[in-house]
Structure 1
Amino acid sequence: MKLERYSLAIIEDRQVILDSLLEFFDSSKSFELVLTAHSAENFMDMWKEQRIDLLLCDIGLPGKSGIETAWYVKRKSASTQVVMYTVFEDKDAIFQALCAGASGYLLKNTPLPQLEERLLEVLNGGSVMSPHVARMVIGHFNPFLDKEDTAEVERLTPREIEIVAMLQNGDSYKQVAEKFFISVDTVKFHIRNIYGKLQINSRAELINKYKHPK
Structure 2
Amino acid sequence: MTIRIMIADDHKVVRKGLEFFFQTQPDIEVVGEADGGKELLEKLAETNVELVLLDVQMPDMDGIETMKRIRENFPAMKVLMLTSFSDYDTVIPAIQAGANGYQLKDIDPDELANVIRKIHKGETMIDSKAAAQLMTHVTGSNETEEKKRIGELTKREMDVLQEIMQGKSNKEIANTLFITEKTVKTHVSNIFLKLEVQDRTQAALFGVKYLSS
- TM-score bracket, normalised by the shorter chain, equals 0.7 to 0.9
Report the number of matched residues.
187
Q: CA 1:139/1:154 → structure 2, altered by over 3 Å: closer, same or farther? A: farther
How far did residue 63 of structure 1 move? Answer: 2.0
Q: CA 1:116/1:199 → structure 2, altered by over 3 Å: closer, same or farther? A: same
How far did residue 126 of structure 1 move? Answer: 1.0
The residue that corresponds to 2:146 in the other structure is 150
Q: Is the 8 A contact 2:9 2:36 kept in 1?
A: yes
- How many angstroms apart in 1 are the aligned matches of 2:136 and 2:172? 29
Q: CA 1:130/1:154 → structure 2, altered by over 3 Å: closer, same or farther? A: farther
- Does residue 82 of structure 2 align to residue 85 of structure 1? yes
- How many angstroms apart in 2 are the aligned matches of 1:28 and 1:190? 40
Instruction: Identify the match of residue 24 of structure 1 among 21, 26, 38.
Output: 21
- How many angstroms apart in 2 are the aligned matches of 1:21 and 1:83? 14
How far did residue 196 of structure 1 move? Answer: 4.8
The residue that corresponds to 2:194 in the other structure is 199
How far did residue 125 of structure 1 move? Answer: 1.5
TM-score normalised by L of structure 1: 0.73
Which letter maps to 1:73? I
The residue that corresponds to 1:42 in the other structure is 39
* Structure 1, unaligned runs of 5 or more: 164-175
How far did residue 138 of structure 1 move? Answer: 1.4
The residue that corresponds to 2:169 in the other structure is 177
Question: RMSD in angstroms over aligned alpha carbons?
Answer: 3.2
How far did residue 159 of structure 1 move? Answer: 6.2
The residue that corresponds to 2:57 in the other structure is 60
How far did residue 148 of structure 1 move? Answer: 4.2
* Structure 2, unaligned runs of 5 or more: 152-157, 176-180, 203-213
Q: Is the 8 A contact 2:103 2:127 kept in 1?
A: yes
- How many angstroms apart in 1 are the aligned matches of 2:65 and 2:95? 12
The residue that corresponds to 2:208 in the other structure is none
- Does residue 102 of structure 2 align to residue 105 of structure 1? yes
Q: CA 1:131/1:32 → structure 2, altered by over 3 Å: closer, same or farther? A: same
- How many angstroms apart in 2 are the aligned matches of 1:154 and 1:10? 36
Q: Secondary structure at the match of 2:95?
A: helix
- How many angstroms apart in 1 are the aligned matches of 2:147 and 2:75? 33
Q: Deviations over 1:26-62 (max 9, x none)?
A: 2321112111001111212322243221101110111
Q: Deviations over 1:96-129 (max 9, x none)?
A: 1000000111000001111000110111121112
- Does residue 134 of structure 2 align to residue 137 of structure 1? yes
Q: Is the 8 A contact 1:153 1:197 kept in 2?
A: no
Q: Which moved more, 1:124-133 or 1:188-197?
A: 188-197
How far did residue 160 of structure 1 move? Answer: 3.6
TM-score normalised by L of structure 2: 0.74
Q: Secondary structure at the match of 2:123?
A: coil
Q: CA 1:159/1:62 → structure 2, altered by over 3 Å: closer, same or farther? A: farther
- How many angstroms apart in 2 are the aligned matches of 1:177 and 1:13? 34
- How many angstroms apart in 2 are the aligned matches of 1:158 and 1:109? 26
Q: Which moved more, 1:31-40 or 1:48-57?
A: 48-57
